[in-house]
Structure 1
Amino acid sequence: MEETIAGPEAAHIPKQRGDSLLEAAVRYAEERHWDVFPGTWLEAVEGMHRCSCDQPSCSTPGAHPAGDDWATQATGSATAVRRMWSTRPTASILLPTGRTFDAIEVPETAGFLALARMERMELTLGPVTLAPDRRMRFFVLPGAAAKVPDLVRNLGWSPASLDLATLGEGGYVAAPPTRYGSRGAVQWACRPTPANRWLPDAEELISPLAYACGRDR
């Protein structure tokens, strides 16, 4: 059963039910052919959730790379994924960007506004995550990181004036059902389905995203 929660612009977010981190990580590798790698995890200490990195000021507890060699650990092999999560079953699921996809990141309020606008425009979307840090990440074809600044300028905006970022080579996103400390879990705003296996180009989505970020300032 899927639970949905209402958000701005009457959007709905499917909540993950009954999926272990291992099962989800294997599915991403097998069904989407995404590289995945295990990140940090949460540890219960005196009734509180603490990141395995042991940094008191950790901004994304339980949801960031565990070491500098994370890029070499990322794999699309389901066998390797099972092996990694069998030894670290509570590790977060992280997906490297700049390989099979880049991601355009915007604030949650702008993301919901953009989703409603994209629906009216009948645009084809790729997967979209909503994280507890109140940021949404729109998956697009690789190469977006290099193109987005010029695309934003062509729309009449200064890239520095918008709360819009692009994650490409060297970046990563956390995938459902990864949890951020006590703040909740990453969810799909647009779930991966056979219909959105082919990702949109950044150019197709940048106008509604930039417009929404401009209104959200």
Structure 2
Amino acid sequence: MEDSIGVPRRFTGQLLDAAVRYAEERHWDVVPGSWLETGASGVPRCSCGSAGCGAPGAHPIRPDWTARGSVSAPAVRRMWQTHPESSVLLPTGRTFDAVDVSEDAGCLALARMERMDLPLGPVLGAPGRRLLFFVLPGAAAKVPDLLRRLGRPPESLDLSVLGEGGWVVAPPTRTVPGGCAQWARRPTPANRWLPDAAELLSQLAYACGREAAAARAR
């Protein structure tokens, strides 16, 4: 069976189940976001109705969204009652920040960090071929200075941090036609305690620097 916009009910149930798990198991605030609808042409479009939407199916739908996040399972279930197809958004700057790099740089950094047995939290594969490394809150304020100390001017790297006022799109949200947000490293009991951004930044900056050098050489 499908709902009125062609989304299988099985999938909308998965969205709610995931949202509840994030709230209950990780104590992450959860917020419902926009979703993809199938138009008359059969092409998915964002529920917000904007033809030029920059994040189809992957952004907040209410101006007061920052005040609506909850870690209460009953509250999460109520939020998804009206639109069970809503994307699952996790606000940043509360229980975690997220260091955002390209997928290529992130995969290189991740492989190096795993070989070095560095502490790692969850790592999210996000829209636009990005990897997001979950770290302790407060990273957004200190990462630019940490990069300068490493000799890596922040403006020279494709690296940013999502902190207060930002959000990430959590699996199994559909973000583009045929795609879903995915975990590169799933949340598990073993990575419940997040690393400080400083513990990962050297490897992330190195990988982003390699990517920037390769781009200049082309």
1:65-144 paired onto structure 2 within 5 Å: 65-144=60-139
> Of the candidates 27, 36, 59, which is equivalent to residue 30 of structure 2?
36
Query: What residue is the counterpart of 1:167 in the other structure?
Result: 162
- Aligned partners of 2:83 and 2:27: how far apart in 1? 21
Q: 1:183 to 1:135 in 2, by over 3 A?
A: farther
Instruction: Give the TM-score normalised by the residue count of structure 2.
Output: 0.90
1:101/1:141 contact within 8 Å kept: yes
Q: 1:208 to 1:72 in 2, by over 3 A?
A: same
* 3-state SS of 2:180 partner: coil
* 3-state SS of 2:101 partner: strand
Query: What residue is the counterpart of 2:51 in the other structure?
Result: 56
Q: Offset of 1:121 from its aligned partner?
A: 1.0
1:19/1:177 contact within 8 Å kept: no
Query: What residue is the counterpart of 2:145 in the other structure?
Result: 150
Q: Offset of 1:86 from its aligned partner?
A: 2.1
2:35/2:86 contact within 8 Å kept: yes
Q: Unaligned stretches of 5+ in structure 2?
A: 1-10, 213-218
* 3-state SS of 1:212 partner: helix
Query: What residue is the counterpart of 2:7 in the other structure?
Result: none
Query: What residue is the counterpart of 1:188 in the other structure?
Result: 183
2:173/2:181 contact within 8 Å kept: yes
1:101/1:139 contact within 8 Å kept: yes
> Of the candidates 193, 197, 206, which is equivalent to residue 192 of structure 2?
197
- Aligned partners of 2:145 and 2:13: how far apart in 1? 40
1:74-106, Cα deviation, whole Å (9 max, x unpaired)? 111110001111221110000000100000000
- Aligned partners of 1:132 and 1:95: how far apart in 2? 14
Q: CA RMSD in A?
A: 1.3
- Aligned partners of 2:127 and 2:112: how far apart in 1? 23
* 3-state SS of 1:129 partner: strand
Point out 4+ residue stretches in structure 1 off by more than 2 angstroms. Answer: none
2:93/2:164 contact within 8 Å kept: yes
- Aligned partners of 1:119 and 1:19: how far apart in 2? 34
2:12/2:85 contact within 8 Å kept: no
Query: What residue is the counterpart of 1:13 in the other structure?
Result: none
- Aligned partners of 1:176 and 1:92: how far apart in 2? 9
Instruction: Give the TM-score normalised by the residue count of structure 1.
Output: 0.90
Q: Does 1:27 align with 2:18?
A: no
1:22/1:86 contact within 8 Å kept: no
Query: What residue is the counterpart of 1:8 in the other structure?
Result: none
Q: Unaligned stretches of 5+ in structure 1?
A: 1-16
Q: Offset of 1:183 from its aligned partner?
A: 4.9
1:88-132, Cα deviation, whole Å (9 max, x unpaired)? 111000000010000000000000000011011111110010023
